[in-house]
Chain A
Amino acid sequence: MLTHEDLYQRLRSKDSVQQLTKQIWQAVEGDDQPFRIMEVCGGHTYAIVKYGLDQLLPSGVKFIHGPGCPVCVLPQHRIDAAIQLARRPETILVTLGDMIRVPGSRSSLQQTRAEGADVRFVYSPLETIQIARDNPDRQVIYYAIGFETTTPMTALLIDQARHADLNNLCFHTNHVLIPPAMNLLMEQGANIDAFLAPGHVSVITGVDIYEPIVKRFGTPVVISGFEPVDILSAVLSIIRQLKKGLSCCENNYARSVRESGNQKARDLVDRYFELRSDFLWRGIGSIPESALQLKPEFAAIDAERAFAEDCPQAGEEQSSGCICGAILCGHASPLDCSLFAGICTPQRPQGSCMVSNEGACAAYYRYRRTQS
C-alpha cells in the first residue's frame, strides 16, 4: 500500500521528475530518431495528460495513445445489449460507473435509467451480492467490463454468488485482454517503436504475457506504474533499450508486480472464464482470442445465453464523424477530431473516448481544451 510520503517524496517529487527529464534529454541528445511510445492503457493516458509529462520531453519522444480503455473499446451492439437487458421487466442491471453515459447506437444507460429502467452503478462488483439478496423476486444482471485487472473481481463475485446460492443473479461478460490488441496493432503495421504497458495488468498476469510481442516484433515493452516518476523512468528505460538496439520486456513496476503475477487470481478467472474465438473492438475490428466468456458449464448464469434475444449481434456501427477508432489505434489525436469540444463533450459524448475518465478525448477535454 502506498503512503502519501511515497507519493509526494518519491513518485511525484519535483526533484525526481526533473532528474529523470534531464536523463531523458541526455539519452536522446544528438539523435534525430523518433521515439514513438504507445501507452496502451487509458490510465497512463490520463496521467500523461494530467501531469503534462509530454511537455517535458524532447520533441522526438512522442506518446501515442492506445486502446487501453475498457469502456472505449466496447462496440455499440454490446452497449445496446446492456440497454435492452436493463429494459427487461423485473430486472436490475448492475455495472461500474464509467458505463453510465456511453452511447450505444440509439441510447445510453443514463437515458434508459431516466426512462424508468433500474440501472445501478457500483464501486465494487461485490456490492451486487447485496442487491441480489435484497431483490429475490427480480433478475439481477451484472454487466462486467474491464481488462485483466478487473476480471478477477468479477470471478470473485461469481464465486461468492454461487456459494451464497443466489439464483437471481447472472452475468454479461465483456472482459477483454490487452496483449491481443497490441499484437493486432503491430500486425497492422502501426508506427510504434515501443510499448508502455500497464502495471496493474501485470500485477495479475505477471510479466511474461508480453514476451511473444517483444519476440515477434522486436518492440520493447516496459511495464510501468501510473505516477509521474514511474512513467518517466519507464520512458527512460525504453529510450535506453532503443538506443542500444535492444528489445526486452522490462518490469519497471517491481514494487507491485511479481514476475509471475497473482496465481490465485488467475486460477479464479480460469475457473469461470474461457477465451472467446474473437471479439469485436470498437473502431479496431475483430481480434481473435481477445476477450473472455463464461465457460459452457455456467450457461445458466450467462446472460448472453439466457437472454440471447436481448443481446444483439454486431451490426453497422453508427458513426457521426467520430474518429475514436483511429485514436484507439494510435493513428490520430483527439485534437484531430472536428467534433472535439464543440459537438462532442463529456455532457453529450458522440463517441466512447469522450466518456470514460480513461478515454483520450475526455482527458484532452478536461486538461487541454482551449490551450493553444
Chain B
Amino acid sequence: MSRIQLAQGSGGRENQQLIRDLFLKYFSNPILAQLDDAAVVECGTTAVSTDTFTVHPLEFAGGDIGKLAIAGTTNDVAMRAACPEYLSVGFIIEEGLETELLERIVASMSSELQVTGARIITGDTKVVPRGAVDRLMINTTGFGAVRADCSVKRIVPGDHILISGPIAEHGACIYAAREEIAIAGLTSDCQSLWPAVKALLDHEVPIHAMRDATRGGLAAVLNEWAEQSSTRLMMTEEVIPISEAVRGFTEILGIDPYILACEGAFLLSLPAENSSEAIDILHRCGHPDAVLIGQVENADNGPQVILTSAYGTQRLLDFPYGEILPRIC
C-alpha cells in the first residue's frame, strides 16, 4: 500500500508530483492551474471565513473530513447570505497516511465543491513526522460575494426562529464512531447549505440572521443569539426535529441532543410574516423537516433561552459546559 512520505511535502520534485497527480487532478480550474505564488480574483463585498478541520475517524457515515472541510467553510460563508466562490486549502498530513485514503478524501472535496460551484484557487501541503498531527488536518478559507445583510445584530423581538432539519446528527454520529457504539441509522448530516440559502435569497425572503449549529449544537447558537441580540428566545421543545436514531443514542448515553453538533442544519431568524414562505421554500429544496421552533421576545430578565416542554413547563436551555460525563447512579 502506498503511503505519504515526508519528501512529498518538502517542496521538491515529489511535492510537485503530489500536487499534479492529486490536487490539480481533482481541483483543477484556470485560476489554480496558474500555480503562481498567489491567486488573483475579482471580489466585491466579500464574506470570508476560515476553519481548520480535524475529525476522528477521518471517514464516517455520511461524509469524511474532506466533505466537512468544504461544506463547513462554505456554510459559514453562506450564513452571511454570501455565495461561496473561492476557497483556499491547506493540508497537514502525517507521514504514513495511506495515499488511497487521501485520494478518496480529495475526491470527496471535489464532488462537494460541485454542489456550490465554489473553486479552490490556492493551496498548500505539509507532510509532518509521525505523531505531529493525528493523520490529517485540513484548513479551508472561503470567500463569497455578499447578497444581503444578514447578521445576528438584526435579530429583533417578534422574529420567528426556524431550523432547517433534524439536529445533532453529526455530533451523535462522530461520538458513536469514536466510542465504537453501533447504532443503526446514525449518519452525519454534513452537507452544503448554499443551495437552500440561495433559494431563500432568490425569493427575497428578508432573513435577519442565519447560523449553522455546529460546535455546541443548537444550545450554543441560541445562547449566542440571545446574548448578542439581547433578547429572550422562547423555544418549543416538542417541535424541534430529532431523528429516532439520535434520540435513542442520546438517551442511552444520558447526553443532551441540544449540545451535539450539526453540519447540515441551520437556524434562521426572520420576520414572523415570512416564516411560512421560508419553510415552504426549504421543504422544496431538500430540507423536508424545516420547521418553526421558536420566537424572539424582549429580554426582561436578561438574555436567555427558554425551552417549553410538551407538558407546558419551562426550563432554561443553557450553553453547553463541562465535560460530557455519564451519570453515576
Contacts and interface: CB of A to CB of B under 8 A. Distances in A.
Interface in A29-87: 41-43, 49-53, 55-56, 70-71
Given A56-B312, A370-B316, A371-B314, 19 more contacts: A14-B311, A43-B327, A51-B309, A51-B315, A52-B313, A55-B314, A70-B328, A97-B323, A98-B325, A98-B328, A149-B329, A150-B329, A356-B328, A358-B327, A367-B316, A369-B316, A370-B304, A371-B304, A371-B306
A206 interface: no
B251 A4 contact: yes
B310 A49 contact: no
Nearest to A356: B328
Contacts of B323: 97, 100
A7 B251 CA distance: 10
A366 B318 contact: yes
Contact of A52 (B238, B314, B328): B314
A58 to B, nearest CB: 14
Contact of A17 (B301, B311, B329): B311
Given A370-B304, A372-B301, A70 B329 contact: yes
Contacts of B321: 346-347
Contacts of B322: 346-347
Contact of B313 (A55, A71, A145, A358): A55
Nearest to B313: A52
A17 B300 CA distance: 30
Contacts of A53: 311, 313
B260 to A, nearest CB: 16
A4 B247 contact: yes
B40 to A, nearest CB: 48
Query: For this complex, into which size category does the number of interface residues on chain A fall?
Result: 35 or more
B329 A43 contact: yes
A97 B238 CA distance: 31
A96 B328 contact: yes
B325 A49 contact: no
Given A4-B251, A146-B329, A50 B301 contact: no
Contacts, number: 90
A14 B313 CA distance: 11
A143 interface: no
B217 to A, nearest CB: 15
Contacts of B306: 371
Contacts of A49: 315
A56 B248 CA distance: 27
Interface in B292-317: 300-302, 304, 306, 309-316
Interface string A253-295: 0000000000000000000000000000000000000000000
Contact of B315 (A43, A50, A96, A372): A50
Interface in B198-243: 238
Nearest to A357: B327
B252 to A, nearest CB: 10
Contact of A97 (B251, B304, B326): B326
Contacts of B311: 14, 17-18, 21, 51-53, 56, 228
B180 interface: no
Interface string A306-349: 00000000000000000000000000000000000000001100
A368 interface: yes
A149 B251 CA distance: 20
A357 B315 contact: no
21 contacts: A4-B247, A4-B248, A14-B311, A18-B311, A43-B327, A52-B314, A52-B315, A55-B314, A56-B312, A70-B328, A96-B328, A97-B328, A98-B325, A98-B328, A100-B325, A150-B329, A228-B311, A347-B322, A367-B315, A367-B318, A370-B302
Nearest to A371: B316
A43 B326 CA distance: 12
A121 B323 CA distance: 12
